[in-house]
Amino acid sequence: MTKDFSKYAPGYDIPALPGMRLEEVQTPALIIDLDAFDHNLVKMRDEITHYGVRHRAHCKMHKSADIAQLQINSGGACGVCCQKVSEAEALARAGIADILVSNEVCDPNKIDRLAQLPKLGARILVCTDDLSNIAELSRAAARHNTELEVLVELDCGGGRCGVTDSAAALELAQAILTTPHLRFAGLQSYQGSAQHAYEYAQRKALLDTAITITKDAVDLLASHDITCEIVGGAGTGSYPFEAASGVFNELQCGSYLFMDADYRKVKTKEGAHLPAFKHALFLLTSIMSIDIDGQAVCDAGLKAHSIDSGLPTVLDRPDLQSLVFSDEHGVLKDRANSLKLNDRLLLIPGHCDPTCNLHDWYVGLRNGFVETLWPVTARGKFY
Amino acid sequence: MTKDFSKYAPGYDIPALPGMRLEEVQTPALIIDLDAFDHNLVKMRDEITHYGVRHRAHCKMHKSADIAQLQINSGGACGVCCQKVSEAEALARAGIADILVSNEVCDPNKIDRLAQLPKLGARILVCTDDLSNIAELSRAAARHNTELEVLVELDCGGGRCGVTDSAAALELAQAILTTPHLRFAGLQSYQGSAQHAYEYAQRKALLDTAITITKDAVDLLASHDITCEIVGGAGTGSYPFEAASGVFNELQCGSYLFMDADYRKVKTKEGAHLPAFKHALFLLTSIMSIDIDGQAVCDAGLKAHSIDSGLPTVLDRPDLQSLVFSDEHGVLKDRANSLKLNDRLLLIPGHCDPTCNLHDWYVGLRNGFVETLWPVTARGKFY
């Protein structure tokens, strides 16, 4: 996945070139601290070894085929997750060989595209929560003479997609097992709303429920001689619960690799931050106006980062606070008027997933120099 | 600006093809109701004729060179605004000949690129609020033997960029007038925070102040024999105030062309909606899960629209309400369980600007059929 940069120039299609200093990178730009990134990669590998579970890294967060490959090759991941067929297409074409669309795919055109993907040599898995959907998946796989692996999604408390009781899960699993061109792969059980429950006790209560619901379904299926190869779920905020449950065997963490300001608020049992994941993703921004006393305006607005989960914080500058972000501007409180025009700051985004989707490139930095550029392969792939 | 669609297929790089029915468009996709769009285009042309002012249409909202050309050719606009050098580059390369970067440009690399743009045959204008910035702009224009037109930005109450008193504006205007390769073009005075002040009285109070500040600066400059060719500002929420002020001569409206759920809350003096602009922009979404009683899940999450100014509403379906939007999902309250899998809805986005920036294409629809596709030319151009 080497990229030829010769036709690019900073500021046009690309924010930087390898070998540049941080000061030369065009702003706003997504910066990856490669030392912190490597640390997080290895830390998660250690975690899954410790717990004795697999990790299917979630790529909806970074949308980069290069990073997915590193998660598999160096991070111990068994494969990847994504959320959309067009993401799976982008990853499969870039050589990722084991891809779960951890989501329902219902549109006939999208199902047709999904059913073609195994032809690229990739193992393709998808979730379902509906009987008619299972029939559609089968018809499309038959049309292309491929096989799709299907997980039944449980609503384990998130209140979004998934069947709401074990009997319904059993009915769907039995349907998959008797439907040609489909293989029953197990259960998908992700408690999304628990990920950002900041307090440990609150998170534990949600996960206790999620694990009970999941265990009930696994047990009911087992009593009908149906084995779940995969019992998958978990995110960065919750994975120690699923990993230690004895019920789940595959984690699906994504944000651990970059972290963001919102995940920094999630506390362990002892009241500490999430174990040992470092902030690896930053938004580099420049100061562009300082006329108003006590504040400075930077060039990173809503088109460069997402504020849906709260405002960014400023790296190593507790004296500066985020005030207001509009389409193209960010206003920072700078009581001491310390900032000058063209000063640069590294922001820690409030929410990494939708922020990454706004950018075409990651700028990988080590020791103050640009070491690599990774395209955001599946940027905008929401079909 | 004809686009060859032959190499595309829906779902890959493009959500639709001309001639398709709405039901065939891949979701999520940005839909433009071309009848409403044409109505809004003509309505603003009538407004500027009525008030006797120019309109420099703001392209930061739509980021489309095709739409910018229509605003000039059919909508009576004298030129366009954008916010970033990379947007100006994209528009100039597509043939737009009169472009104001209605923002400060401070980074030396960006100033250098800006100073090259007049070579493409475009009139290029930019704002400033700093003396050292004026010197930088001049050096870059000298280097490329071009001329930049410069407006002094006033902070007329928005509290973001711009000088905070008329004496400072005079000092900057005099500096521009005596600096080679620059031409003083007038004043930029945009009250951003007034645009979404929903109540008329609240908006009037903010605009009375903004107009007074602007008039003070115009008068002070006039008393020093400095004429402002442009006194520019105004947005969709405020333009009748600036247009009728006798102080402003150039409006900079953008959102009027598409409208969004937030602008719909802005009230006229009589308590009505903004005069006669119709919703022309919609987010087409499909239902993908209906397992939970009283709700349905659609495929338009935070990566397909921005919720920073509030949640979307559902066109023609007052029985449905937006509940929660996460990265890839939207949860709608559907008390009557009326929605089925693959049902399609048109959402009215909460905030059009950052929503458009998430998409690569506009799908132009008339009478239920796709009439045209317009690329979001400057999507992601935030450098």
Q: Is A249 helix (H, G, I), strand (E, B) or coil?
A: coil
Which one is predicted more confidently, A106 or A263? A106
**Which chain B residues are within 8 Å of A11, Cβ to Cβ?**
85-86, 109-110, 113, 383
Does the distance separating the beta carbons of B287 and A161 come in below 8 Å? no
- DSSP, collapsed to helix, strand or coil, labels residue B18 as coil
- Distances in whole angstroms, Cα of residue B111 to Cα of each of A11, A221, A328, B81: 11, 65, 17, 17
Cβ–Cβ below 8 Å for B307 and A308: yes
Q: In 10 A of CB B49, how many CB atoms?
A: 11
Model pLDDT, residue B262: 87
Q: How far is residue A370's CA from residue B202's CA, in Å, rounded to a whole number?
A: 49
- Quick one: pLDDT at residue B4? 64
- Our CA-based measurement puts residue B108 at a distance from the nearest CA of chain A, in whole angstroms, of 9
pLDDT for res A212? 98
DSSP annotation of A193 reads G
Residue A8 clears pLDDT 80, i.e. is over it: no
Per-residue pLDDT tens for A327-354? 999 999 999 999 999 999 999 999 999 9
- pLDDT (average), residues A223-242: 97
Contact A341 B304 (CB under 8 A): no
Q: Is it the case that residue A4 has pLDDT exceeding 70?
A: no
Average pLDDT in chain A? 95
Work out the pLDDT band at B126, boundaries 50, 70, 90.
very high
- What DSSP string describes A103-131? EE--SHHHHHHHHHGGGGT-EEEEEE--H
The answer on pLDDT for B3 being more than 60 is: no
Q: A295 to chain B: which residues are within 8 Å by CB? A: 159
Cβ neighbours around B278 below 10 Å, total: 16
Q: What is the pLDDT of residue A6?
A: 62
Residues 6 or more apart whose Cβ sits within 8 Å of residue B225: none
pLDDT for res A1: 43
Q: Which residues pair with B370 in a beta bridge?
A: B365
Name the DSSP class of B332. E
> Which stretch of A4-8, A169-173, A201-205, A278-282 has the lowest confidence by average pLDDT?
A4-8
Question: According to the model, what pLDDT value does residue A275 have?
Answer: 61
Neighbours of B367 (CB within 10 A): 8
The beta-carbon neighbor of B192 closest among A287, A326, A380 is A326
Residue B12 confidence class, pLDDT cut points 50, 70, 90: confident
Confidence label for A378 from pLDDT (cuts 50, 70 and 90): very high
Measure the CA–CA gap between A132 and A51, rounded to whole angstroms: 37
Beta carbons of A327 and B353 less than 8 Å apart: yes
State whether B288 and A357 contact (CB < 8 Å): no
The pLDDT assigned to A78 comes to 98
The reply to whether residue B162 touches residue A288, judged by beta carbons under 8 angstroms, is no
Amino acid at A131: L
Residue B245 has pLDDT above 90, yes or no: yes
Provide the ipTM: 0.94
- How far is residue A187's CA from residue A196's CA, in Å, rounded to a whole number? 23
Q: Do A22-32+276-375 and A34-258 share a fold?
A: no
Contact A303 B353 (CB under 8 A): yes
Cα–Cα dist B128/A215, whole Å:
63
For residue B108, whether the previous peptide bond is cis, meaning omega lies within 30 degrees of 0, is no
- Tokens of residue A362, six digits: 């990651």
User: Taken in order A248, A252, A256, A257, is the CA torsion positive or negative?
Assistant: positive
Averaged pLDDT, B330-351: 97
By the 8 A CB rule, do B316 and B76 touch?
Answer: no
Q: What is the pLDDT of residues B48-61, one digit of tens each?
A: 999 999 999 999 99
Residue B28: asked if its preceding bond is cis (omega within 30°), the reply is: yes
* Nearest-by-CA chain A residue for B300: A382
Higher pLDDT, A309 or B272: A309
How far is the C-alpha of B373 from the C-alpha of B14, rounded, in Å? Answer: 9
pLDDT, mean of residues B311-319: 96
Q: Residue B230 above 90 pLDDT?
A: yes
Contact A380 B357 (CB under 8 A): no
Q: Give the homologous superfamily in CATH for domain B35-258.
A: Alanine racemase (3.20.20.10)
> DSSP string of B278-295?
PP-EEEEEEEEE--STTE
Q: Which residues of B touch A133 (CB under 8 A)?
A: 341
As a residue count, chain A comes to 383
* Other beta carbons less than 10 A from residue B333's beta carbon: 13
**CATH homologous superfamily for A22-32+276-375?**
D-serine dehydratase-like domain (2.40.37.20)
Angstroms from A186 CA to nearest CA on chain B: 19
Q: What is the phi-psi region of residue A259: left when phi exceeds 0, alpha when psi lies from -120 to 50, beta otherwise?
A: left
Choose among A161, A308, A383: nearest Cβ to B15: A383
Question: Mind telling me how many Å the CA of B335 is from chain A's nearest CA?
Answer: 15
End-to-end CA distance of chain B: 24
Distance from CA of A257 to the nearest CA of B (A): 17
% pLDDT > 70, chain B: 98
- What pLDDT is recorded for position A3? 58
Percent of chain A at pLDDT > 70 equals 98
What rounded mean pLDDT belongs to chain B? 95
pLDDT mean over A231-237:
97
- Give the mean pLDDT of B308-318: 94
Please answer whether residues B29 and B361 qualify as being in contact, where contact means their C-beta atoms are separated by less than 8 angstroms.
Answer: yes
Buried/exposed B213-239: b ≥16 CB within 10 Å, e otherwise: bbbbbbebbeeeebebebbbbbbbbbb
How do residues A165-209 score in pLDDT, each as one tens digit? 999 999 999 999 999 999 999 999 999 999 989 999 999 999 999
* Alpha-carbon span B220 to B163, nearest angstrom: 14
CB contact under 8 A, A328 and B86: no
- Residue from B12, B152, B299, B361 to probe the interface with A (highest A Cβ count within 10 Å): B299
A38, two tokens: 């490597």
Please give the pLDDT value at position B8: 67
B193: closest chain A residue by CA:
A326
CB-based contact A31:A355 (threshold 8 Å): no
pLDDT in tens, B167-207: 999 999 999 999 999 999 999 999 999 998 999 999 999 99
C-alpha atoms less than 13 angstroms from C-alpha of B342 in its C-beta half-sphere: 15
Instruction: Provide the pLDDT for residue B1.
Output: 43
CATH classification code of A34-258: 3.20.20.10
**Residue labelled with tokens 């980062």:** A305
Q: Do A159 and B292 touch (CB under 8 A)?
A: yes
Nearest to B368 by CA among B335, B336, B338, B346: B346
Q: Is the pLDDT of residue A273 over 90?
A: no
Distance CA B19, CA B222 (A): 56
CA distance linking residue B4 with residue B91, whole number of Å: 19
Per-residue pLDDT reduced to its tens digit, B143-170: 999 999 999 999 999 999 999 999 999 9
Tens digit of each residue's pLDDT (9 = 90 or more) over B112-125: 999 999 999 999 99
Which pLDDT band, with edges at 50, 70 and 90, does B259 fall under? very high
Q: Which residues of B touch A329 (CB under 8 A)?
A: 160-161
From the list A160, A287, A328, which residue is nearest B84 (CB)?
A328
If you count residue pairs, one on A and one on B, with CB atoms under 8 Å apart, how many are there? 189
* Structural domain spans, chain B: 35-258
| A150-169: average pLDDT | 97
The pLDDT, as a whole number, for residue A325 is 95
